Structure 1
């Protein structure tokens, strides 16, 4: 009997435990549902993959009474910007609906406009932020400066630079990197370098930004020197893929094949993925150095070929006279479903022009309309050059007359060059008169016309043109030669006296000249 009572007692205890546990569990769920916080909705937003899903979570946030939560509002703005592409209308409504905004909310909106556009709106929000008494921080300035760089708003960027200095954030790493990039985009590379030198502890982004600034502004020698300086810096690790993407165009421009081999080997040994950016850079470098087969081998290794990669290989074939192969690559490009752009057609038209393939070039020119590619002045210039080289000057003039846009210096420059080839002085005079207005500082235009007059024995006309060249103080750019030494590439021009040992070099040359003269006499 006693045993039975104990069993019944234990059973009652277990029932009570189960009941209280179940009751606690149920009430626990109710309690959590009634007190969902911003972290719960943040997790939901992270799972959203489309605009519709973001809007559903947004509706729950409004129903739950968290619409004025600044943290959640910032996350909503960021998610709308991520999912809506170029349309920031929904994101802006969330921001404008806030009665109180902290610096984090302002930064998220500025970042969204700086990344997606319109870039001017990022600057407007920044001005509104300051007028509302919110102090920008070291996260604000990189976004604003990015917008200034994208918009090429140099004066505004200078003013923001002043705000940075007043805030004592000019030595901040992220702000400093943003300033380097901004000034480089505005073609103020020397100012970029000054900012770069002031950054106390540079990271790889600092070096990449400065190298990119030099490369994009045509200062390839400075970019190469900066790259080698980076390799010698003990605080910076090995170059990353961004470094190589920024420096490859510089080595391609100087056609430094040894550096190309080294960079290619580094990519392979370090296990970097040969993506479209790296691959197109290597193709261009090998192409400029004349290694067509290696360029093609790299092209075949790239799995994610975009339009830039195809452009690089088509340009490679075209610049080396393989116009037929360039056209075959163009057909393959269309077969894989890619849409050719204006650069592709420019490379193809140039290849046809140099190969004398008039019919193919003309067909390509007409094909641009099929693909919806806008015909720009450079495309018309290629067609004028193509027809002009083939001696079809009348047809070239007809193309110019039928242009829907105003012909520029490139078009008339191509026509003048064709007139020089086929010695058509009358048409050359017309083209030159246009160029003297459109491109008045280009001495080459005057020289071509003067030489044509001299070839025809029209000495007075030639003297008149050369006199105008002299009176207007128009000088032809000095030609430079480049030699590769152990210390790098060295340039020198005609009568160049910049070398520190110019006197000794001239004396040695004079001495050698005397010795050669004596040997000849003997």
Structure 2
């Protein structure tokens, strides 16, 4: 386009920026940013908001903060872009901090429904019940709770925060429920171990005339998995394509593998994975290898790992970590050393993080780190729980 002498305008740049969404795209994103400055488009508020979103999508918190702070005026769109971008890419605490900063500025700009949904989604990712309740109360006070999308996000957040009663109350009070409303409620029941309730709700949804989509099947299969409903889950999976015309993907296969593994049917899980028309992803491998370790079936675990050579290197490293743990549990330290050597040569994958709210304070845990102030106490309790579980099993 440029070689033909046609200069890009702000819409061209905006379209290009929305196509960059990973760390690998950061260099290209910076190049487009530089070109926009040269052509004088950086001062355009819409363009600046898109740049903030692009840098967040590419994992560059530093650049997004710098641009956001340099905005001459911030409207609800720019605030929402920052809040949703932070939440979507793992910067949950920062997302809620920006939302609170926006609230302190209500005299200039007020949150809208989109802003509330972004902030509530951040609470769901963080698992913070107190923050979710506070945002729920604020949405009621500000009159932002009437939209179905807002209520759906609350159902999702309450379910993920373990307050299924609050999720059910929001769901029951809705005058209109779309497919996402039902799916969010089913998933909430799923993650809280209420599989039979989820199946009943799944049936109720169909009686209203709404047919399940791909996300609905993920939710109901997860419910069957968490509750050990093997026969029900198998029947639902088989009905996906045959009855509803929904083609299973990695998430559905992952739920089924998890269901078989939780029920102790490792051979059936292995046959199921082998019959897949796609490579198993890390979640599927993880479920199977963890079950193989728990049931002391190293043979099947090794056999599956031999099938992962065509996966991207990150998946291979993830699988090797799980296999290493299996060997360690069985005392095969020479194999553990061999796998760790391979991991060092390939480079380590980023450590996993998790959050939990305790007495109103959100605690962050990073896999492999020992920096938490109560690390010794936590390790002591976990070791004690291991001994209790050994006695039970």
TM-score (normalised: structure 1): 0.62
| Alignment-derived partner of residue 417 in structure 1 | 290
**Are the aligned partners of 1:382 and 1:414 in contact in 2 as well (CA < 8 Å)?**
no
> Which of 244, 247, 253 is residue 380 of structure 1 equivalent to?
253
| Alignment-derived partner of residue 371 in structure 2 | 496
Q: Give, in whole Å, the separation in 2 of the partners of 1:389 and 1:406.
A: 21
**Are the aligned partners of 2:353 and 2:364 in contact in 1 as well (CA < 8 Å)?**
no
Aligned-residue offset at 1:198: 1.5
Question: Measured at CA, do residues 492 and 400 of structure 1 come closer, stay the same or move farther in structure 2, by a change above 3 Å?
Answer: closer
> Which of 238, 244, 263 is residue 116 of structure 2 equivalent to?
244
Question: Measured at CA, do residues 490 and 273 of structure 1 come closer, stay the same or move farther in structure 2, by a change above 3 Å?
Answer: closer
Q: Give, in whole Å, the separation in 2 of the partners of 1:482 and 1:257.
A: 10
> Which of 403, 406, 413 is residue 279 of structure 2 equivalent to?
406
| Alignment-derived partner of residue 385 in structure 2 | none
> Which of 176, 191, 203 is residue 75 of structure 2 equivalent to?
203
Aligned-residue offset at 1:476: 8.4
Q: How many residues align?
A: 365
Q: Give, in whole Å, the separation in 1 of the partners of 2:282 and 2:130.
A: 37
Question: Measured at CA, do residues 416 and 291 of structure 1 come closer, stay the same or move farther in structure 2, by a change above 3 Å?
Answer: same
Question: Measured at CA, do residues 412 and 156 of structure 1 come closer, stay the same or move farther in structure 2, by a change above 3 Å?
Answer: closer
1:144 matched to 2:12: yes
**Are the aligned partners of 1:413 and 1:435 in contact in 2 as well (CA < 8 Å)?**
no
1:306 matched to 2:183: no
Q: After TM superposition, list the pairs within 5 Å mapping 1:100-139 onto structure 2.
A: 131=5
1:344 matched to 2:220: no
| Alignment-derived partner of residue 259 in structure 1 | 131
1:286 matched to 2:158: yes
Q: Give, in whole Å, the separation in 2 of the partners of 1:175 and 1:473.
A: 37
Q: Select the structure of larger CA radius of gyration.
A: 1
> Which of 312, 320, 323 is residue 192 of structure 2 equivalent to?
320
Q: Give, in whole Å, the separation in 2 of the partners of 1:268 and 1:409.
A: 41
Q: CA RMSD in A?
A: 3.2
1:451 matched to 2:324: no
Aligned-residue offset at 1:245: 0.8
Q: Give, in whole Å, the separation in 1 of the partners of 2:5 and 2:176.
A: 47
Instruction: Name whichever of 176-185 and 263-272 sits farther off.
Output: 176-185
* SS of residue in 1 equivalent to 2:72: coil
**Are the aligned partners of 2:124 and 2:157 in contact in 1 as well (CA < 8 Å)?**
yes
1:228 matched to 2:100: yes
Structure 2 residues without counterparts, runs of 5 or longer? 378-393
**Are the aligned partners of 1:315 and 1:347 in contact in 2 as well (CA < 8 Å)?**
yes
> Which of 258, 261, 267 is residue 394 of structure 1 equivalent to?
267
| Alignment-derived partner of residue 121 in structure 1 | none
TM-score (normalised: structure 2): 0.81
Question: Measured at CA, do residues 390 and 265 of structure 1 come closer, stay the same or move farther in structure 2, by a change above 3 Å?
Answer: same
**Are the aligned partners of 2:258 and 2:288 in contact in 1 as well (CA < 8 Å)?**
yes
Question: Measured at CA, do residues 421 and 235 of structure 1 come closer, stay the same or move farther in structure 2, by a change above 3 Å?
Answer: same
Question: Measured at CA, do residues 273 and 326 of structure 1 come closer, stay the same or move farther in structure 2, by a change above 3 Å?
Answer: same
Question: Measured at CA, do residues 459 and 216 of structure 1 come closer, stay the same or move farther in structure 2, by a change above 3 Å?
Answer: closer
Higher relative contact order (CA 8 A, sep 6+): 2
Aligned-residue offset at 1:483: 6.3
**Are the aligned partners of 1:388 and 1:396 in contact in 2 as well (CA < 8 Å)?**
yes
Q: Give, in whole Å, the separation in 2 of the partners of 1:414 and 1:492.
A: 21
**Are the aligned partners of 2:17 and 2:50 in contact in 1 as well (CA < 8 Å)?**
no
Q: Give, in whole Å, the separation in 1 of the partners of 2:84 and 2:208.
A: 32
Structure 1 residues without counterparts, runs of 5 or longer? 1-123, 510-522
Q: Give, in whole Å, the separation in 2 of the partners of 1:467 and 1:179.
A: 41
